[in-house]
Amino acid sequence: MFELTNASQSHRGTGRRDNYPMELRTYWRMLSKNWWIVVAGALVGLLLGLGASAMMTPRYESTATLYVSVRGVGAGDSGDLFQGASFAQTVVTSYVDIATTAIVLDGVAEEMDGEVARDEMRRLLSVQSPEGSSLLNITGEHSDPETAAALVNTTGETLVDVVENEIEVGAEGGSSPVQVRLIDPGIVPAESVSPNFALNSALGLLVGLALGIALAILRGSLDTRIHSIADVEEITNVPVVGRIALDDSIAHRPLVVHDDPRSPRAEAFRTTRTNLQFFAANDDARVFVVSSATPGEGKTHVVANLAVVLAESGARVALVEADLRRPRLAHVMGIEGAVGLSDVLIDRASLEDVTQQWGTDNLTVVPAGQIPPNPSELLGSPMMREVINTLRETADYVLIDAPPVLPVTDAAILSTYASGSLIVSSVGQTRQQNLEQAIESLENVGGKVLGLIVNRVPMRGSANSGFITYKYVDKSETAKSKASRVA
């Protein structure tokens, strides 16, 4: 309550937060609102990873190991032994490249009798030598496990023959000084090395999760509608004075405070009434314009219910239907609206003649009357100011149902006559930029935006304040028939 009092003392320049940062909680709200996109992205990524793995041809891998040494090195001659080992380590690096040259691969293709295409062998084979050793590892892969083993073994045997009989030949046709042996033949692999279902599934899940998060944040950034009380508090410094719960049956019972006085929605209007009483702490602050940024946000239902709960508290309330373009207040209140404010403003009827009593003696309603061709001119006339001053003298509260702020200037004109304005915003409909523009439009003409009433707030939601219901039943109370709304 203290926050409302302090906020009411300084309204100019407080309508919006000019440079609010995109904080982590903002991203968290975006992800919370669009959690299904994140989940869907992760699931799609997982399924794509599994599907891609299932469609891939299994690949099998086999490795054969060769050992390179120098002939004629005596076991007792350590110097010759060292030189021979050093020479073997030097030449083995050359054999890494020789293993995949044409002189070797042509022999392999001939031995395997076309089982593996000659042009594919270089792609299927991988030859490496561990640093500082005389070993040569020949690794080959193929879709058939037996072919993979045959490929590396044939390549190893062919390399041995090429090295000893064609490359490292001895003097005058003698034996080769270099000896190469296939010490570990490749075996037929029992399991495939690819596809890796676990790895591909994990990668698909991570990629899908990342894309889902990105899409959720993108959608949250592009969707500028207000989805919670937190969204409203993030874009403006104007206090939220009312949080009206969502009611799907509002079309059948627009005056919920009269038709269902014990509902959470009715209690929300009573809370708003209490906050409004703090604004009207002095005699001058008793005229309030109730409007919205755009049409369809429920301002008429809000102002009607607010007028009823104020009257129930014992205050004298004058409710004025100043929406001369699309008047709906008379229908909501259940009164005749053929003659009203427009007739007073053109001096065709007196204010007393068009004022109607509603319910108890505390609430009077001035309907809109006939729709005029020039609403803005009529609302800006001295006669309108006189009407408001007259109602101010006879009522504790004057509530004015004004047209939306952005489409027309009527609400801005009326705000200059009032103590302040209350803007109704609707969860899931009001856009943040429209709310900011509406507040700025009223402040630019000298109007005071006292507070925001957030309408259609979901009963549950992490980003909204929850509505706690406290139901009580009077067993002696029988079914209550609706009394006539008009006295």
- Summarised one tens digit per residue, pLDDT across range 345-384 is 999 999 999 999 988 778 999 999 999 999 999 999 999 9
The pTM (predicted TM-score) of the whole model is 0.63
**pLDDT of res. 217:** 86
The average pLDDT across 220-245 equals 85
pLDDT bucket at 285, cuts 50 / 70 / 90: low
- 11-36 pLDDT, tens digit each: 444 455 544 445 676 778 788 878 89
- Considering the domain delimited by 2-16+236-457, tell me its CATH architecture: 3-Layer(aba) Sandwich (3.40)
- 373-428 pLDDT, tens digit each: 999 999 999 999 999 999 999 899 999 999 999 999 999 999 998 989 999 999 88
Task: From 463, 452, 454, select the one nearest 7 (Cα to Cα).
Answer: 452
Residue spans of the domains in the chain: they are 2-16+236-457, 22-56+195-224, 60-184
What tokens appear for 423 in the block? 């803007």
* Statement: residue 75 has pLDDT above 70: no
**pLDDT of res. 322:** 94
* Statement: residue 212 has pLDDT above 60: yes
The average pLDDT across 439-459 equals 90
The average pLDDT across 171-184 equals 77
**Which string of DSSP letters, residue by residue, matches 269-296?**
HHHHHHHHHHHTSSTT--EEEEEESSTT
**pLDDT of res. 281:** 66
**Percent residues over pLDDT 70 in the chain:** 84
* Statement: residue 283 has pLDDT above 90: no
- For the segment(s) 60-184, the CATH number from 3.30.70.1130, 3.30.2290.10, 1.20.120.530, 3.10.50.40 is 3.30.70.1130
Q: Give 68 or 253, the one with higher predicted confidence.
A: 68
* Statement: residue 344 has pLDDT above 80: yes
pLDDT bucket at 472, cuts 50 / 70 / 90: very low
**Which string of DSSP letters, residue by residue, matches 60-105?**
EEEEEEEEEEETT--SS-HHHHHHHHHHHHHHHHHHHHHTTSHHHH
Distances (CA, A) of 207 to 55, 172, 279: 19, 65, 53
Residue the block writes with tokens 């054999």: 95
Beta strands per DSSP E along 307-359: 317-321, 356-358
Residue the block writes with tokens 């006939």: 370
* Statement: residue 226 has pLDDT above 90: no
The average pLDDT across 103-118 equals 88
Question: Which of 59-68, 75-84, 184-193, 395-404 is least confident?
Answer: 75-84
**Percent residues over pLDDT 90 in the chain:** 45
**pLDDT of res. 177:** 80
Task: From 39, 147, 135, 153, select the one nearest 88 (Cα to Cα).
Answer: 135
**pLDDT of res. 406:** 93
